[in-house]
Structure 1
Amino acid sequence: MVNVSIARRYARALLDVATEAGRAEAVSEQLTSFSSAVGQNRELADVLFNPAYSREQRARVVESLLKALGPVETVLANSMRLLVDRNRLGYLPDIARLYRDMVDAQAGRLRGHVTSAVPLPADTLQSLAGTLKQLTQRNVVLESRVDPSVLGGVAAQVGSTLYDGTLRTQLEQLRRELKQR
Structure 2
Amino acid sequence: MVNVSIARRYARALLDVATEAARSDAVSEQLSTFSGALSQNRELADVLFNPAYSREQRVRVVEALLKALGPMEPVLANTLRLLVERNRLVYLPDIARLYRDMADAQAGRVRGHVTSAVPLSPETLQSLSGTLKTLTQRNVVLEAKVDPKVLGGVAAQVGSTLYDGTLRTQLEQMRRELKQR
Q: TM-score range by the shorter chain?
A: over 0.9
SS in 2 for 1:22: coil
**Uncovered stretches (5+) of structure 2, i.e. residues with no partner:** none
| Aligned residue in 2 for 1:38 | 38
**What is the rounded CA distance, in whole Å, between the counterparts of 2:89 and 2:178 in structure 1?**
54
What is the aligned length?
181
| Equivalent residue number for residue 85 of structure 2 | 85
SS at match of 2:165: strand
Partner Cα distance (1:118, 1:26) in 2: 31
Per-residue deviation, 1:108: 0.9
Greater than 4 Å deviation, 4+ residue runs:
none
Deviation string, structure 1 residues 31-69 (Cα, Å, up to 9, x no partner): 111111111112111111112211111111011101111
Other structure's SS at 1:155 match: strand
- Give, in angstroms, the shift of residue 161 of structure 1: 0.9
The corresponding residue for 1:59 is 59
Give the distance between the partners of 2:3 and 2:161, measured in 1 at CA. Answer: 26
SS at match of 2:113: strand
Write the letter of the residue equivalent to 2:174: L
2:180 matched residue in structure 1? 180
The 5 A counterparts of 1:20-169 are 20-169=20-169
Letter of the aligned partner of 1:127 in structure 2? Answer: S
Q: Which amino acid aligns with 2:78?
A: N
Across the aligned residues of Structure 1 and Structure 2, the Cα RMSD in angstroms comes to 1.1
Between the aligned partners of 2:21 and 2:124, the Cα distance in structure 1 is 36
TM-score normalised by structure 2 residue count: 0.96
Distance in 2 separating the partners of 1:14 and 1:39:
21
Q: TM-score, length-normalised on structure 1?
A: 0.96
